[in-house]
Amino acid sequence: MDNIRLFLWFAFLGTLWLSYTTWVADYGPTAPPQAPSASSEVPSSAPAPASPLPELDDHDQAPLAGEAPSPVAAPAQAIHVQTDVLDLLIDTHGGDIVRADLPTYPVDKSNPDRAVRLLDYAPDDLWVFQTGLRDAADESAEPNHLATFHSDSQSYRLADGQDELVVTLEWVNDGPVKARKVYRFHRGEFDVDLDLELDNGGSAPWRGAAYSQMVRVHHPSQRHFASVESYSFRGPVLYDGDQYHKLKFEDLTKEAETQTLMNGWFASIQHHFLAAIVPPGSDETRYQAIARGPEYILTAVSPLEEIAPGAKLDYNLKLFVGPKLQRQLRATAEGMELTVDYGVFTVLAQPLFWILSHIHTWVGNWGWAIIICTIFIKLVFYKLTATSGRSMAKMRKLAPRMKALQERFKDDRQALSQAMMELYKREKVNPAAGCLPILIQMPFFLAFYWVLVESVELRQAPFMLWINDLSVRDPYFVLPVLMAAAMFLQTRLNPAPPDPVQARVMQIMPLVFSGMFALFPAGMVLYWLTNTVLSILQQWRINQLVARES
């Protein structure tokens, strides 16, 4: 039974190492993004994508085909839009957002002026929205993402005390059909309302459809170590109104993904951040994802509509570009919180995050929220771990008698095993019960791990004293040292394995774990330290009660 316990510890340690190496490979240091520019101009030398227009034929026809698009020169002017949480450029060539910086999310906490950049028109990091209306009768004059738009101002800023900022772009067209794109930005929110409007001032009906698409250069993840199944996905995703699908770039190079759905949306995601487009849920929308050269293109095309002379078309989209804040994701679209990729631990991680976030609203500090949540978990499993603890305490009490049996049968291991089993049976002790706490803690530990590394709410969150970022390792390794001391004390409260080799392994286990945890985020070490201290207090109390019963 002691062999099982030792095996579980090593399996636990191995799982930790695999999780950490996966985290390092996925989220390790990368080349910092360019610092955001305060200028509203796009350099004329910067290329913009000439992505193909989606077809308006029957829904079972592929909307995109052909070779990869060739870049063209970007216009020299763009519209600069600033809110309290977004710093954007809207290209007048197409009227779409082509750059997005997040001023409240610095790349590095020590350099707060360098913001995370998501959307970008730069060729190597191309990631842009493209929206518009297609004319089924006259493709030469339509307000698509290749058309020219005009705005009354080249710069917009959300003023103090202002909750909504409206930016209107008019389609430059001399014909009777007028169109515009109306953006609505909201204070504190990363979702953007976009209305595609068309006024048919002609004498004949206008027939066409609205579309939206996203183009992004694919950068495959570089993994140098063994991977676990649950890892943060980087690439395109699609929600079909019921299920959430990750679309692998390699699969899209072989065959396009095409579906006709209601209540769907698509996005491109990465660690902590995403950009998404949500078409109207009531429409039967045709979705397609396809790889073209180094890029993938996600497209949504609405059903064809006929607009009578004098009538208007108003097509409402919702865009999201920002961090994976779960409250805002849920408010933007059904199922969008699934982009926070907890993997196979989602069933545990989501409730844990829900508890954490509610505790945080009360205490206002993620470090204290982790401590209180750990106490809560310990209370939930108190009875179960107490039963195991009593068995461990009885085994510790039997240690002298087990030592005597070892001396008596030191040359006969079979007789020793039989004698020990008889002793366990006589004293009503289950040696396997000591494995139960490890089995209980492993899934919760790993779920907690992914909550800490995947939840952007904890990104760069301070705790107290020298811990100013729970998402990175303790800079002075104080928490790992305290954890090693606590684990060593915990081993002293538990019965020593009868085998001397196993006993020595258990003695060095605190050092192994502390060395391992020295590389982990401080929030993870804080959780394990708190859990260990609570386990020590519980086991100490149980040992006292069992001693009094004799």
In a domain, 225, yes or no: no
Instruction: Give residue 66's pLDDT band: very low, low, confident or very high (50, 70, 90).
Output: very low
CATH code for the domain of 46: 2.70.98.90
The pLDDT tens digits of the residues spanning 428-449 come to 666 665 566 667 767 887 888 8
Lowest mean pLDDT of 187-191, 345-349, 467-471, 496-500, name the range: 496-500
In a domain, 224, yes or no: no
Same domain, yes or no: 145 and 212: yes
CB atoms within 10 A of CB 69: 16
Same domain, yes or no: 434 and 328: no
Q: Name residues whose C-beta falls within 8 Å of residue 445's C-beta, 6 or more positions apart in sequence.
A: 12, 527, 528
**pLDDT for 503:** 59
What is the rounded distance in angstroms from the CA atom of residue 81 to the CA atom of residue 377? 45
Lowest mean pLDDT of 193-197, 311-315, 492-496, 521-525, name the range: 492-496
Instruction: Give residue 139's pLDDT band: very low, low, confident or very high (50, 70, 90).
Output: confident
Comparison of pLDDT for 147 and 503, the residue scoring more: 147
Mean pLDDT for 524-537 is 88
What is the rounded distance in angstroms from the CA atom of residue 277 to the CA atom of residue 362? 33
Tokens 């089993």, residue located:
421
**pLDDT for 27:** 42
Alpha helices in 153-269 (DSSP H): 249-254
The pLDDT tens digits of the residues spanning 218-267 come to 987 665 433 333 356 889 999 998 899 999 999 998 999 999 989 999 99
User: 100: alpha, beta or left, given left = phi > 0 and alpha = psi -120 to 50?
Assistant: beta
In a domain, 223, yes or no: no
CB atoms within 10 A of CB 504: 12
In 3D space, the residue among 516, 467, 70 whose CA is nearest the CA of residue 294 turns out to be: 70
Same domain, yes or no: 151 and 109: yes
In a domain, 32, yes or no: no
Same domain, yes or no: 482 and 379: yes
Same domain, yes or no: 493 and 403: yes
Does an H or E element contain 503, and which? helix 500-517
**pLDDT for 29:** 41
**What are residue 117's phi and psi, to 5 degrees?**
-110, 130
The pLDDT tens digits of the residues spanning 27-50 come to 444 443 444 443 344 444 344 445
Residue 361, both tokens: 């609203």
Same domain, yes or no: 110 and 186: yes
DSSP state of 175: S
CB atoms within 10 A of CB 408: 12
For Cα atoms 419, 548, 537, give the angle at the middle one, nearest 5 degrees.
Answer: 95
Instruction: Give residue 395's pLDDT band: very low, low, confident or very high (50, 70, 90).
Output: low
Q: Name residues whose C-beta falls within 8 Å of residue 90's C-beta, 6 or more positions apart in sequence.
A: 78, 79, 81, 96, 97, 98, 151, 167, 169, 183
For the chain, the C-alpha Rg in angstroms (whole number) is 30
**pLDDT for 318:** 96
258 DSSP β-pair partners = 288
In a domain, 526, yes or no: yes
Same domain, yes or no: 15 and 75: no
Lowest mean pLDDT of 104-113, 262-271, 289-298, 313-322, name the range: 104-113
Q: Per-residue b/e over 378-398, b at no fewer than 16 CB within 10 Å?
A: beeeeeebeebbbbbbbbbbb
In a domain, 59, yes or no: no
Contact 524, 516 (CB under 8 A): no
**pLDDT for 111:** 81
pTM for this predicted structure: 0.78
Tell whether the model's pLDDT for residue 392 goes beyond 70. no
In 3D space, the residue among 336, 103, 332 whose CA is nearest the CA of residue 240 turns out to be: 336
The percentage of residues in the chain with a pLDDT greater than 90, rounded to a whole number, is: 42
**What are residue 85's phi and psi, to 5 degrees?**
-125, -5
In 3D space, the residue among 172, 171, 147, 168 whose CA is nearest the CA of residue 156 turns out to be: 168
In a domain, 28, yes or no: no
Domain that holds residue 510: 2-23+352-549
Same domain, yes or no: 360 and 278: no
Amino acid (1-letter code) at residue 506 = M
**pLDDT for 342:** 85
Amino acid (1-letter code) at residue 394 = K
Strand ranges (DSSP E) for 136-283?
Answer: 149-150, 155-157, 164-171, 177-186, 191-200, 206-217, 235-239, 244-246, 257-261, 265-270, 273-278
Same domain, yes or no: 509 and 375: yes
Contact 342, 356 (CB under 8 A): no
Tokens 């600069």, residue located:
80
**What are residue 264's phi and psi, to 5 degrees?**
-105, 175
Same domain, yes or no: 17 and 45: no
**pLDDT for 495:** 60
Same domain, yes or no: 197 and 126: yes
Same domain, yes or no: 118 and 156: yes
**pLDDT for 34:** 41
Alpha helices in 308-398 (DSSP H): 326-332, 346-363, 366-380, 382-397
Domains held by the chain: number: 2
Mean pLDDT for 492-515 is 67
Q: Say whether 90 sits in a helix, a strand or coil.
A: strand
In a domain, 34, yes or no: no
